Each structure stands twice: as structure tokens, then as C-alpha cells.
Structure 1
């Protein structure tokens, strides 16, 4: 397993230490702290009924944000439903992320210049889509990649293999990330595959694969940067397995992780917390303080307060919106229905 920082925040792999400035290191920490607060507040907002679908992210910040930090603005993100933080840091306004959770169609409309698709709800489907985007980038001669994410459960889906096989066969500009948090909802990883690692599944597709400490933000960044450089140099796609852990439930839709995870396992992974580890590293370099962290926390809370207020006040969806968004030219049966609902909505 590729690692740069151990659990105590000490460098154990000097040769692969990424060339990041002090400001860049601090920005990485800022994003992780901000995203942890966003996760906590999103869970609270979900319980209040102000958000709809939500998949917790705490514990996976290094995997999500370390990989995103290695990207450029022109790169395309094809996220799974847990990967909203990457979209936000790629340019999706926070209020739109909340609208996505509420099921509002505007939450799926990427602003101009934000190269991303909406979060994919179908497990693994984003891998096939990413392969197509990656091939398109290659054919257009773009120095950009299409990156996609799934969990360990997604590797048991047919789309996972099909997407990687296609990308491998055509040498597409792709990075495939598997965030292995140990459980596909409640099914342990060893119950869904006999493979020793998930990274080795890259071999069948003829592409490079690597297993990375997903609680080590520097290792994830370095591996993703390497994968990006390979892809834009025409050396083909890469699969990165990040060994990570989601502290919360699979989603807020009724999953109870205490039914399939032990307190001892939770405790073991909490000692590997990506924020704690990176904080120790930065404090050792005198780059981070409690005061700076509190400033980030307060800023996150203020931003979230404003964003959820805007999302709450956003115009409600109408049936006519769904009809008009689906078709450029309405079929006859929907023309009739459109008029019917227009009349209802005007009352």
C-alpha cells in the first residue's frame, strides 16, 4: 500500500513526497476541515427534513479531496452520489449541491465552465460514462482527464469492468478511483470478491493499478497526480484503490452501521483519521494552528447557513418543468398533459 504520512503525521516515504508549497498544504487542510463541517451540518439538515438524499463523507476527505487537488479545471469529474465535495471544490455552488440533495433539477445543472456530470445514483454506471468522456478528450487532443469514483461495492458491478476495459482498449484519458471503505452498504468486502485487492482488478483491463492509504491525503494526491500525468502523456488510464473508511452510515436513508460494524473497528479507523494525521504533520511544520482551524469552521458554518437559505427559497419544481426538461419537442400525449398541468399550476 502506497503511503507518505503514517498515522502520527510523520513522513515515511520521502522519495514520493509531493512538491507542494506551504500555501498549498494549508489549502488542502482547509478544504478537509471545511468538508468535515459540511458533512456534519448536512447530516443535521437531513434530520431536520431540510435536505433529502445524503451520503455521509466523514473519514473519506483525504481520498476525495486529495485526488481532486491533483486535477486541473479542464478535467472532467464523473462522481458517485458520495462525491459531492469534489463537485463543490470543482466549482459547483454550495446551494446547488443542496438542491441536488433536495431532488431539484437545478442541482444537476452544472454552471458554465464546471466540467462535471451530476452525481450518479446507479452504482458503477459512472465508470462507463467516464470511459466515453476520457476517449473524447483523447480524440480531441485535450491535455485533460476524466476521473470517476465508486466504492468497493461498485467493483462488483458489470459497468465497472466494462468501463475500464473500454478505456484500457482505447487508451482513454481516464483515472478510475475505488474508495474502499470496507463495506458495500452492509456487505464486507471479502464477501463480494475473492480478489486480494481491488487495485489488482486493473490487470484484467490491461491498465496500471495501485493501492493507496486513503487516509493519507498526500499519498492520494501523489498517486492521482501520477495517474493524470500518465494519461495526458498517452500512457493510458489507471485504477487507484484508496483504503479508507466512512464513519457514518452508507446514506441517511435508514442504514444503521452498528448492525454490521463493531465499535472496535470504528475505533481502529478513528485513529487513522485523515484530518488528525494531516493536522499533526502541518503543526510539526508550524503551518497550522487551532485559531486557523476555528476560522475555517466558522466560515464553513456561515457559508452553509447562506447556501441552505438560498436553496430553501429557490423556486419550487413544477410538473411542467419535468415535462419541458425531458423533450425538445413534446409528443402529442404530453402536449395535452402540459396544457392540463399549466392550467392547474396557474391557479
Structure 2
């Protein structure tokens, strides 16, 4: 395990035979950060890409004057169905096997298919202090820091937890800033959000609050659409813990479409907020939006993004748009912000406006794609982190 390389672990569940993976892309001050996902079909290559994305997120949010110093990037993944009745047992065996790495190197939270309360419960069951205990040696006052983060996790706004809201707010602010500074804000701005879990649901809420018409959302069962705009709050009230919407509580004018139809709903903004690789070279031609914002990790393949760019459709990359959840954890833990919703929302809005503005400015100045511009910004910060910490 070296600073220049990465660690990859492949695990086989002794009961079900399913595979699990952990990739540590980089260590900063001996620690890496990244969530654990669970989905059927998860691969080592996918987890490797996600871990690299976490390194880029951390680097992009580096503030030399902040208390929070970005960590390295990591990611875990389990190739198993999170809906299975034995899913929690699989997670327990996986985390028990990864225990030495969780104790010293890997701080983890929820990701696709897993909620934070499940991870926290398993962590307690296997006798660990916390899913982020590897960071404890870096804290000046561990009790105050962990108490502040625990208090923040108890905050709810409009029936949703603050920990769920900050990620969606970041995506919404990235969308609004992108529309503004790219000159795309004129005329109607209808939005389709693919995925209605933690990230997708919160994104839809904040975009609706900003005055955009959320005309379509999708879950595992299909697409709910309304050309006049969906009642997002009604859908959130009738959503299960996996983001599934109860169709018995739809409003007049709401219509149902099959799952694959999410790309066909007319909209100016498309927010893929569910699975990786859902937009590829084969289906990107169906997109008529003027802006794509990646709320999920790696939802648009590289060749699809090139084709979208050739058609004049910019893509705000995932490691920019969805970075607020990760940063909020550490801003709160290290004390850059307190356990307060208004303070968290202000920090997320300010930081996301800065990130997207800087990205677009560099892209415009140097004739780059948004992703290439964001990569350059992150890599510059990673070099500064390397120079500061060795």
C-alpha cells in the first residue's frame, strides 16, 4: 500500500458465493474516504472507477484555509441484490472481512443500494466504533467532532434527513449554476430525474423549489411523468426506503411509463441519479436535453459523453455535481460548519457555485469539455495536497 498506487481487495462470500470489492485509490494522511454500494452486477472495474472518482471529489474540494483537509479516495462494492432478504447478512460478512482496513484506512458511508442506518447497524454488530473511525486520529477533539456529526445526522427538514438533503442540494445548485453561466437558462426548464432514492429525491425537491418543472422521475418500477410538473413533495411522502414510489398516491395528470422510457420524456435538463453506465453510445441519441448533470456515479459512459458533446449537450461530471454529501460529512466533523441545516445549505450552495463557475471558466478559456476542465482543477489541488503532506 503506497501513496503512488492503490490497494485492491476481492472478497468471496463463503455463504452465497457473491463477490465483493474494495479499492483504495489514494491515501492522504493515511486515510481514504468512499462509500459502499450493493447491486447485482457490480464489478471490480466499476469500483476502481468509483474510487478514482472519490479521489477527484476530495481533491476538487481542497481549501488550504479550511479545517477539513481532503482525504484519499476509496470505494467498496458488493455484487448482490440489496432487495434480497439476506442482504444484510451479506453486508455483515463483507464488513467483518474488511474490518482491519476500516479500523485504520477506509472511512465509509452509504451508496447505491445501501442506507447509512444499515451500515451503522452492521458496524455496531461487528464491534467497530464507527464506519469512519479511521479518521479519528486526525481529529483534535474526537468527542466534540463526533458529537457534532451525530447531532447533524438527527436534523430533519421537511421530513428528510439533513444527510440526505445536502447531496441533492449540491446537484440542484450545480444544475442551476450550470444553466446560468452556460447561458442555457432562458425559456422553459423541465427536468427529468432518473432515480428517486436519497440523491434523486432531494435533487428533485430543490429543483422544484427553485421553480423548475420536474416532469419525470423514475424508480425501479418505471417512470412517473406529468408534463405540467409533478408534485415532488407528494411523491417523497409515498416513497419506500429504496426510492420506490407508491403508485396508489399519484395525482391527477400523472402518467406511468415503462422503466426504459426515462430518456424519452421531453425535458431541458436530465439528471441521472441512480445506476452507473445508464447512458451509453447506443441510447444517448434519445436525449434531447440541453444539459446533463450527473447525480449518480459514472452514469454516462465516456463514448456517450463524447457524442453528447458533439451534439452540443454539456455534461456536468459526477465528481463535481454529487460531491456535496462527502464534503458535508467532513466539513461538519472537522468543524468548518456546525450541526445546523441553514449553515450546511449555505456552505453547499456557495461551494457548488464556486466549483461549477471555475470549471466552466476553465473549459471556456481553454476550449475543454467540462469534465477535462474539472479534472485539471482537481489534479492541481491534488498536487498541492501531495506537496503539503508528502
Taking structure 2 as the reference length, what is the TM-score of the superposition?
0.26
Higher helix share: 1
Higher strand share: 2
Report the TM-score when normalising by structure 1. 0.28
Determine which structure has greater relative contact order: mean sequence separation of CA pairs < 8 Å that are 6+ residues apart, divided by chain length: 1
- Largest Rg, 1 or 2: 1
